[in-house]
């Protein structure tokens, strides 16, 4: 159904997005390396949509009931998992790698390929270790593994990721902790984390596609009501 909207040739907007999650290095950056000059972070909203400068992409989080895709007068309901899968097609592998470590999905993803078969081909095969952000020495192996899964087993990978993102316990809509909206200095509380920091921008967001699904969702229209740090036992 979404394909029919895309084929209409009109921009496809998604209604029902209430949060955007971005993954930043620790400590949170005080400046953003924009061109031609660096941007100094003065307020929490200055971090919005800047995580790509640090190797990851934003992820639009749908409501539990999903979103509505709209092109012109046509509207199509889209389940949350399908909306997330649409994004997983194009976000960077770095984003998926760091996301996995926020939503407890490494073990399930490690089971997509048959362990015994892979171990016979490579006695160093350790997908769960490769996907562990706390074992950063295996980062490149983790990216290669994810690249293979996205190329060969995309549906399984995306299904596991979407289930994790929307999970009632470890999902990205849970464990929101400190608000930085009017107190960006509170970021110092997270300066010693050894892993990426998940920042949640809460509000109303209207991402859209303009043409074929070949790049990340675009965004022009949004309202930010709060900026929070998510802490799921990271620190």
pLDDT-derived band of residue 214, with 50, 70 and 90 as boundaries? low
* Residue 96 belongs to some domain of the structure: yes
| 8 in any annotated domain | yes
Out of 90-94, 158-162, 192-196, 214-218, least confident range: 214-218
pLDDT of 149 strictly over 90: yes
Residue 111, in any domain of the structure = yes
Q: How many C-beta atoms surround the C-beta of residue 128 within 10 A?
A: 15
Confidence (pLDDT) at 233: 77
How would DSSP label each residue in 53-93? GGT---EEEEBTTBEEEEETTEEEEE-HHHHHHHHHTTS-H
The answer to the question of residue 235 being in a domain is: no
In a domain? residue 163 = yes
Q: Which two tokens stand for residue 64?
A: 């539990």
Overall number of domains in the chain = 1
Average pLDDT taken over every residue of the chain: 93
pLDDT for the residue 212: 67
**Distance, CA of 54 to CA of 48 (rounded, Å):** 13
In this prediction, residue 9 carries a pLDDT of 77
> What count of Cα atoms within 13 Å lies in the side-chain half-sphere of residue 232?
22
Q: Which domain holds residue 77?
A: 2-230
Tally Cβ neighbours within 10 Å of residue 180: 23
133 within some domain? yes
Residues of the chain above pLDDT 70, percent:
98
pLDDT tens by residue, 175-187: 999 999 988 889 9
**In this predicted model, which residue has the larger pLDDT, 71 or 59?**
59
Has residue 186 been placed in a domain?
yes
Query: Model confidence over 73-86: pLDDT tens digits?
Result: 889 999 999 999 99
d(CA 232, CA 221): 30
The SS3 assignment for 180 reads coil
- Residue 227 near residue 180, CB atoms below 8 Å: yes
Instruction: Compute the average pLDDT of residues 154-173.
Output: 96
Neighbour tally for 26: CB within 10 Å: 16
């Amino acid at each position: 159904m979404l394909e029919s909207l895309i084929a209409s040739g009109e921009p496809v907007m998604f209604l029902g997005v209430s949060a955007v999650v971005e993954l930043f290095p620790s400590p949170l950056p005080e400046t953003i390396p924009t061109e031609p000059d660096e941007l100094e972070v003065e307020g929490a909203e200055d971090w919005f949509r800047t995580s790509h400068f640090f190797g990851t992409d934003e992820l639009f989080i749908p409501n539990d009931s999903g979103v509505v895709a709209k092109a012109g007068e046509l509207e199509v309901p889209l389940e949350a998992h399908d909306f997330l899968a649409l994004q997983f097609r194009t976000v960077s592998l770095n984003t998926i790698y760091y996301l996995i470590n926020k939503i407890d999905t490494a073990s399930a993803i490690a089971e997509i390929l048959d362990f015994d078969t892979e171990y016979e081909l490579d006695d160093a095969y350790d997908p769960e270790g490769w996907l562990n952000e706390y074992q950063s020495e295996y980062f490149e192996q983790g990216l290669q593994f994810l690249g293979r899964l996205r190329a060969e087993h995309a549906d399984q990978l995306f299904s596991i990721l979407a289930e994790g993102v929307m999970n009632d316990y470890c999902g990205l809509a849970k464990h929101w902790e400190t608000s930085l909206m009017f107190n960006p200095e509170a970021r110092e509380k997270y300066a010693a984390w050894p892993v990426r920091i998940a920042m949640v921008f809460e509000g109303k967001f209207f991402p859209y596609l303009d043409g074929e699904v070949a790049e990340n969702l675009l965004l022009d229209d949004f309202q930010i009501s709060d900026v929070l740090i998510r802490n799921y036992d990271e620190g």
